[in-house]
Amino acid sequence: MFQNHFNRNDIHDAIHRQLGLNNIATYHRDLSCNNCYPSEIPLTPTFQHFLDWISSNYPVIEYTRYTQQYFEEVAYSITNADIDNAIHNLLFSIRYTDIEPIDYTLLRQDLINAYNLTNGFQQDPNEVLYQVSETTTSPEPEALSDTTSENSEEEIPHLHIPLPPIYNTPNNPAPVIPPVINMAQPNQQDFQQLRAAIAALTQVLPNTNNALVGNTQAIANPPRREGKVAELPSFYGGNQDPVAWLEDFTRACNANGIANGRKLEVVPAYLKGAASTWWNANQALPNNNPNKITIWTGNNNNTDFIQNFPAAFRTQTLVEIWTTELEQRRQQPGEDVNTYAAALQELYRRVETNAFAYPEAIKARKFVNGLLPDLYVTVKPHNDQTWNGAVDRAKAYELTHRDQGAVSAYLNKFTPMTTTDHTGDLLKAIQDLSKQVQSIGNGYRGYRSNNSFRNANQQQTVQTTQGRPNQVVCYSCGEPGHISRTCPNRNNVAGRPNNIPRNNNNNTLQPTNTNDQLAQIQQLLAQLVPQEGTEDQHLN
């Protein structure tokens, strides 16, 4: 397996030499090439421990930034398949010399053993493994040949046997073995040694009891192992919101079981671009610099990441954007009061600082002024001076409006429709009557037009006066120059044209009265028929 890895390294280096380029990732990928994928600095303490361990036990030449990434993925992996894949990628992102064969299975097992004994390389493997080897005892062989003595040192690291408890730790101190006293012939010196042994044992017992209590508590509440439950977001700088990112990153770390002490080691891998440059510059500051970040939280000054980071990336431009958005924020149609209030609170949290905060009365007034009109007119008269009071009142009125809509819909469901149906029938009858009246008027106008046409030849000689046409003709007598209302022959039956019927009880209205009566009937019908858009008012 490693032979293929070495062959790939040789091919990749040959392409480097042939093209004369420092980065040939576009032509040939080799994740163990530091020229194509340079490592990121500074190194985390856990990765430095891992690097020291593997360099001491295997012929390591160089590593890349993928080595650092895969090392972090080992801690976040949950299933066995994910762990195997992360370890495989980690080991093959490192370059080794091919002066001696490397057994992948053995290297993998050594890595797992060292990882478990050092609690994920949080402790120095050289110190921990040295303590294990010092406290491990084994019976001496009866006879050792020269060949056995030469190979014994090489075989010892490859023996994976259960290890005895590790002493000289806070939770498991080394036991005190009292000196052996010869009781055959007691003397004053023996009694002094016995008293010293008893005194030493008396001092050890409280520590032993404390160690037992600590071990019992550790068994009852084992430390949570880091996993990969949530994806950790990356920060690039620019107009990206640093406040929201820091909250998302903290929540993801807590979900993955990453403690505050480990967050500062993990966060550099997720600072990209300008943020990565800022981090590298900060860590290059002297150790006594008050702005150098040394802890995630706890110091309450710029040495805390959670204070230094927002101060560095919360620019005035972002504050102006948030302030403008806060001033223009209004409740949108279909948006409930809870969502609207939460959006305003988020903007207030971004804009406000320890030195500046909006008064409660201003917040309450801004909230009320941005409500929808139906809520605004009911909440505004109360003039609430606190945020919680205004929000609670708006929620109460919102619930009332919703209940009113539900009650109205329920009542309308059982409202009888008899009156509405009768009104509809009446309107239909009035419309039919209007059509009939209009048809009567049109027929009369046709009759009047035909009568005028028949008298045209008779009136042709008298329709002009002094060379000018006179279009006014009396409908009663048929003579020009006046109308029927001012006709001198209005009551003269003998002077009436023969083509106009006489008035009697069996005939319709005279043409003179028909025009006025038709106009009156149409006015009455217009009052009965509802105009467009006022039908509901007539119905009610």
Domain identity same for 338 and 299: no
In angstroms, the CA 448 to CA 456 distance is 12
User: What confidence score (pLDDT) does residue 367 get?
Assistant: 93
Residue range of the domain that includes 257: 242-314
User: Is residue 522 classed as helix, strand or coil in its secondary structure?
Assistant: helix
Q: How many CB atoms lie within 10 A of CB 325?
A: 14
- For residue 187, the tally of other CB atoms under 10 A from its CB is 8
374 within domain boundaries: yes
Boundary-marking domain end, from 84, 101, 132: 132
Pair 249, 267: CB distance under 8 Å? yes
Would residue 533 be called left, alpha or beta, if left means φ above 0 and alpha means ψ between -120 and 50 degrees? left
Instruction: Report how far residue 134's alpha carbon sits from residue 136's, in angstroms, rounded to the nearest whole number.
Output: 6
Interacting residues of 160 by C-beta distance below 8 A, sequence separation 6+: 109, 113
Phi, psi of 62 (to 5 degrees): -155, 170
Q: Are 341 and 391 in contact (CB under 8 A)?
A: yes
* Domain membership flag for residue 32: yes
Q: How far apart are CA 272 and CA 382, in angstroms?
A: 50
Is the whole-model pTM more than 0.75?
A: no
Q: What are phi and psi of 251, to 5 degrees?
A: -65, -40
Q: What is the pLDDT of residues 450-488, one digit of tens each?
A: 555 455 544 444 444 444 454 567 767 777 777 777 777
Evaluate whether 484 touches 490 at the Cβ level (below 8 Å). Answer: yes
Say yes or no: 276 and 310 in one domain. Answer: yes
Q: What is the pLDDT of residue 522?
A: 65
What's phi and psi for 86, nearest 5 deg? Answer: -65, -40
Burial of 197-227, coded b for 16+ CB within 10 Å and e otherwise, reads: beeeeeebeeeeeebeeeeeeeeeeeeeebb
State the total domains in the chain.
4
Say yes or no: 305 and 326 in one domain. no
**Cα angle, residue 43 at apex, residues 37 and 46 outer, rounded to 5°:** 120
Q: Is residue 347 part of a domain?
A: yes
Domain final position from 291, 314, 337: 314
Integer Cα distance of 91 and 99 in angstroms:
17
Q: Which residues of the chain have pLDDT under 70?
A: 130-188, 203-224, 405-425, 441-472, 475, 490-520, 522-540
Q: Phi and psi (nearest 5°) for 7? A: -65, -40
What gap in Å lies between CA 212 and CA 218, rounded to an integer? 10
Q: Is residue 366 part of a domain?
A: yes
Please tell me whether residues 402 and 452 are part of one structural domain: no
Same-domain pairing of 10 and 112 = yes
Rounded Cα–Cα distance for residues 161 and 159 (Å) = 6
Q: Please give the backbone phi and psi of residue 76, each rounded to the nearest 5 degrees, phi first.
A: -90, -10
Alpha helices (H) along 93-187: 104-117, 125-135, 146-155
Return the beta strands (E) in 1-144 as ranges. Answer: 60-62, 95-96
Let me know: does 376 contact 368? Beta carbons within 8 Å: yes
**For residue 226, is it within any domain?**
no
Q: In whole angstroms, what is the distance from residue 117 CA to residue 333 CA?
A: 60
Q: Side chain identity at 73, as an amino acid letter?
A: E
Q: What is the pLDDT of residues 115-158, one digit of tens each?
A: 888 888 888 887 777 665 555 544 444 444 444 334 433 443 44
Tokens of 334: 């279909």
Q: What is the pLDDT of residue 267?
A: 92
What does the block give as tokens for 137?
């005892």
Helix (H, G, I), strand (E, B) or coil at 351: helix
CA distance 74 to 112: 10
Would residue 147 count as lying in a domain? no
Q: What CATH number has the domain bearing residue 349? A: 1.10.1200
**Does any domain span residue 60?**
yes
Do 444 and 338 reside in the same domain of the chain?
A: no
The span from the CA of 343 to the CA of 345, in Å, is 5
Q: Are residues 440 and 485 in the same domain?
A: yes
Q: Are residues 61 and 118 in the same domain?
A: yes
Q: Is residue 120 part of a domain?
A: yes
Tell me, what's the pLDDT at 251? 92
The number of C-alpha atoms within 13 Å of 214 and in the hemisphere containing its C-beta is: 11
Same domain, 310 and 322: no
Which residues on adjacent β-strands are paired with residue 96?
60
Question: Do 308 and 324 belong together in one domain?
Answer: no
State the Cα–Cα distance between residues 468 and 465, nearest whole angstrom.
Answer: 5
Exposed / middle / buried, residue 68 (Cβ in 10 Å: 0-12, 13-18, 19+): buried
324 and 308 belong to one structural domain: no
In terms of Cβ atoms closer than 10 Å to its own Cβ (0-12, 13-18, 19+), residue 10 is: exposed
Residues forming a β-bridge with 465:
468
> Which one of 395, 413, 431 terminates a domain?
413
For the chain, the maximum distance between any two Cα atoms, rounded to a whole number of angstroms, is 180
Give me the torsion for CA of 198, 204, 210, 216, rounded to 10°: -90
The length of the chain, given as a count of residues: 540
What is the Cα–Cα distance from 304 to 243, expressed in whole angstroms?
15
Q: Verify that 327 and 367 share a domain, yes or no.
A: yes
